[in-house]
Structure 1
Amino acid sequence: MAGQSSDIADLIARVALRDRAAFQALYGATSAKLFGVTLRILRDRAEAEEALQEVYVKIWQRADRYRAGNYSPISWLVAIARNHSLDVLRARKPVSDDIEAAFDLADQGPNPEAAAMAAGERAQIEACLDELEVDRAGAVRGAYLDGYSYEELASRYGVPLNTMRTWLRRSLMKLKECLTR
């Protein structure tokens, strides 16, 4: 993973010098992950695709601001995608001038009972994840909470792709068993 990280950092440095080939390579190496970030936040494929294009415009314009060593290059790219997607969400919501209109709005959040149940379920899932081997639990979190692909996880844990698929399938079966106890 460290090699891939330094490759991405190198591409960002070349993009800062306005290297179009590096920009194209950076897009090829990172667009799937950044699209996942925009789609997860915006929950609309067309809007996420448009946001992704705007994210890469920002990357092109701001590549000179990346400082290797401060944080990983993929974290920097994800932060740009995340922040842009949140900006799109904020722009989507109309601003109300009339405070009285706010009193008529229903609270979209969970009621206290639902919130307590969700917290209990979250705790139960975490407890079940803790029963898995550390690397298996990490792989499950990476795949289903952080959005890493099977290929990225296989590379991260140094195992073949089919082994990673087996880890995840067996871990999910163990989680299901644990959650139904």
Structure 2
Amino acid sequence: MYICLEGIDGSGKSTQLELLGKWLEDCGLTVTRIREPTDSMVGKLIRKMLKSPDAKDESFQRTLALLFAADRTLLMDHIQKEVDMNRIVLSDRSFYSSLAYQNGEEWIAQINHYALKPDLVILLDLEIETALTRCDGSDSFEEKDFLDEVRKRYLKLADQHGFMVVNANNGVNKVHDDIKRIVAPKLGMCI
């Protein structure tokens, strides 16, 4: 199964991904953790570019969208092999992030046409003010108005694509328990 955690910066995706992975491993399952952007050369370039003050410029955004799609393409074979080997793939972001962060334009969907769709998407929804206190401010996207728009797009995507939405304003353990309650029945497990 391919499970993705989505959400705005600061929503707790990385923390919850680690907790979920550990819980699944403790239950005897084999887990592979991935993140977008990856650690490939393309992913490293994306991470560097995200720190640029020009990152919100329209032409810069188009370039980032293309790089994210390229990085994702490099990742697809790896995900498919892991799933085929009956492993659980946990991802910190997927192509839905591009739809949310780059305003969901039709061409974003087109350039991500070959991206694998997760079997389960869990959206960690968080108030913007809380998210900003958790961010370190190193990425140019970590500002209130922008994250507010991204959050709205995520909630719209959740409605359109049937994401499971978890209130990430709660404490770490409560959020983890909520995620386990979503994942367990999908894998035929009890909590």
Q: How does the TM-score come out when normalised to structure 1?
A: 0.24
Larger Rg: 1
Query: If each structure's strand is expressed as a fraction of its own residues, which one has the higher value?
Result: 2
Q: State the structure with bigger RCO (CA 8 A, min sep 6), 1 or 2.
A: 2
